[in-house]
Chain A
Amino acid sequence: RVSSDGKPEKFQPPPKPVIIDKQKQKEERRFLSPEFIPPRGRTDPLKFYIERKDMIQRRRVFNIPEFYVGHVLAVTTADPHANEKTSRFVGICIQRGGKGLGATFVLRNVIEDQGVEICYELYNPRIQAIEVLKLEKRLDDNLMYLRDALPEYSTFDVNMKPVSRLDHEEVPVNKLQVRMKPKPWSKRWERPKYNIKGIKFELPESKMKAAQKWSQPWLEFDMLREYDTSKLEDKIWREVREGLKN
């Protein structure tokens, strides 16, 4: 080809392909399981350090996946009285409690019209496998209100196949608004102390206004109640990563 100048064109090499390294991107997002963060108090940090060592030891042998409240999990535990000596339970995680080795999570499912909740300990040596079947975060940290919601929101198929994970970066948030059974409920979920965003309240306006009487607007300005865990988290995250690398 002849360019407009009349001089022969210099060979332009084709642009180099840009390789987006998915592995690197995954490392940037870090998740520290909430039971590693020690609670606020006057206990000796040595106690938490020893506990963390034990937790890391267990995690090296047994893989505990990253999961939040709202995920659907399947847990197989060793059971001496079962046929194959294992029992499998599938359910939605409604609550994650406890710190350290006693950390628990509660799975809920409705089996044959009966609601069943099982509280498992994460570091229980009888647990043989934890699989994440469906990944989705919900609007709240505590889904205890599913007990008073219509049973369709808590039923999950026991033989559910794990949903394939598309993005390695973000956990999707399900903005589902759950419909409730008629009152009375186990707790008054409309009160602001529970701060629930995931219920579709079909109560009359007067009841909602009456519930706001129990709101404590000064609580968010109470500075001494805030517990800043960012530096602690950084330190513990590095410790856990060092421990799990080996």
Chain B
Amino acid sequence: MRLSVPVAISHGRVHRRLGLGPRSRLDLLRNLVTALVRHERIEAPWARADEMRGYAEKLIDYAKLGDTNERAMRMADFWLTVSIVFMAVIELKGNPLPPLIRPHRDTEKTLLNQLLKGYREDLQQATKG
């Protein structure tokens, strides 16, 4: 339960009053959720973002149920106003274009790995000598 009681909610209630009415409030939050899924980071008034957070987390829980679950798909159909397509790149081997910059998570060149490598070499030298 949310313990930080927002100012705009009366005693015992859970939802804030946004927009013109309950339908308008859900439409507002729906647009925000779709924008969040599309851009992955959005800026909004604090109250709207706080309301939207709960719905976004619940939507992720529903998404975990999978593609074939009918209830999950109905929820997604309602909450995501636009079908968001995540693009990918595909290329043939031996193409003349310059190579794609794919960020790797853990390589030798990251600072932490370099420091650890130096530490390991120091230890080896200490044991040898």
Q: Are A and B associated in one complex? A: yes
Q: Does B23 belong to the interface (CB within 8 Å)?
A: yes
Minimum CB–CB distance for A220 against chain B, Å: 9
Residues of B in contact (CB 8 Å), total 15
Q: Which of B1, B22, B62 contacts A223 (CB 8 A)?
A: B62
Q: Does B75 lie within 8 Å of A223, measured CB to CB?
A: yes
Distance, CA A176 to CA B58, complexed state (A): 37
Q: Does A11 belong to the interface (CB within 8 Å)?
A: no
The residues of B that contact A224 with a CB separation of less than 8 Å are 14-15, 54-55, 58
Minimum CB–CB distance for A128 against chain B, Å: 39
Q: Does A12 belong to the interface (CB within 8 Å)?
A: no
Residues of A in contact (CB 8 Å), total 9
Instruction: Give the A-B pair count, Cβ closer than 8 A.
Output: 25
Known pairs A42-B1, A216-B22; A221 contacts B54 (CB<8 A): no
Q: Does A221 lie within 8 Å of B22, measured CB to CB?
A: no
Q: Chain A residue with minimal CB distance to B24?
A: A218
Task: List 25 contacting pairs A-B, 8 Å CB cutoff, sorted by A.
Answer: A41-B1, A42-B1, A216-B22, A216-B23, A218-B22, A218-B23, A218-B26, A221-B26, A221-B74, A221-B75, A221-B78, A221-B79, A222-B26, A223-B54, A223-B55, A223-B58, A223-B59, A223-B62, A223-B75, A224-B14, A224-B15, A224-B54, A224-B55, A224-B58, A226-B58
Q: B residues bordering A, Cβ < 8 Å?
A: 1, 14-15, 22-23, 26, 54-55, 58-59, 62, 74-75, 78-79
Other contacts beyond A41-B1, A218-B26, A223-B58: 17, CB < 8 A: A216-B22, A216-B23, A218-B22, A221-B26, A221-B74, A221-B75, A221-B78, A221-B79, A222-B26, A223-B54, A223-B55, A223-B62, A224-B15, A224-B54, A224-B55, A224-B58, A226-B58
